[in-house]
Chains A and B, each alone.
Chain A
Amino acid sequence: GAVVSQHPSWVICKSGTSVKIECRSLDFQATTMFWYRQFPKQSLMLMATSNEGSKATYEQGVEKDKFLINHASLTLSTLTVTSAHPEDSSFYICSAQTSADTQYFGPGTRLTVL
Chain B
Amino acid sequence: GENVEQHPSTLSVQEGDSAVIKCTYSDSASNYFPWYKQELGKRPQLIIDIRSNVGEKKDQRIAVTLNKTAKHFSLHITETQPEDSAVYFCAAISGNQFYFGTGTSLTVIP
Q: How far is the CA of A93 from the CA of B102 in the complex (A)?
A: 16
Tell me the B residues contacting A by CB distance below 8 Å: 32, 34, 36, 42-46, 49, 87, 89, 91, 93, 96-103, 105
Query: Nearest-CB distance from A90 to chain B (Å)?
Result: 13
Question: Between A and B, how many residue pairs show CB distances below 8 Å?
Answer: 43
10 contacts between A and B (CB under 8 A): A32-B96, A43-B89, A44-B44, A46-B98, A93-B43, A93-B44, A102-B49, A103-B34, A103-B98, A104-B46
In the assembled complex, the Cα of A1 lies from the Cα of B105 at a distance in Å of 24
Task: Give the shortest distance, in Å, between B61 (CB) and chain A (any CB).
Answer: 19
CB-CB under 8 A from B96, the residues of chain A are: 32, 49, 97
Tell me whether A41 and B89 are in contact (CB under 8 A). Answer: no
Known: A103-B91, A107-B43. 10 other contacts (CB 8 A): A42-B102, A43-B101, A43-B103, A44-B44, A44-B100, A46-B100, A49-B97, A103-B34, A104-B46, A105-B45
Give every chain A residue within 8 A of B34 (Cβ-Cβ). Answer: 102-103
Task: State A101–B45 Cα separation when bound (angstroms).
Answer: 15
List chain A positions with a Cβ less than 8 A from chain B. 1, 32, 34, 41-44, 46, 49, 93, 95, 97, 101-108
Question: Is the Cβ of B46 less than 8 Å from the Cβ of A41?
Answer: no
- Give the docked Cα–Cα distance between A103 and B42 (Å): 16
Chain A residue contacts of B42, Cβ below 8 A = 107-108
B43 in contact with A101 (CB, 8 Å): no
A95 to B32 Cα, complex, angstroms: 16
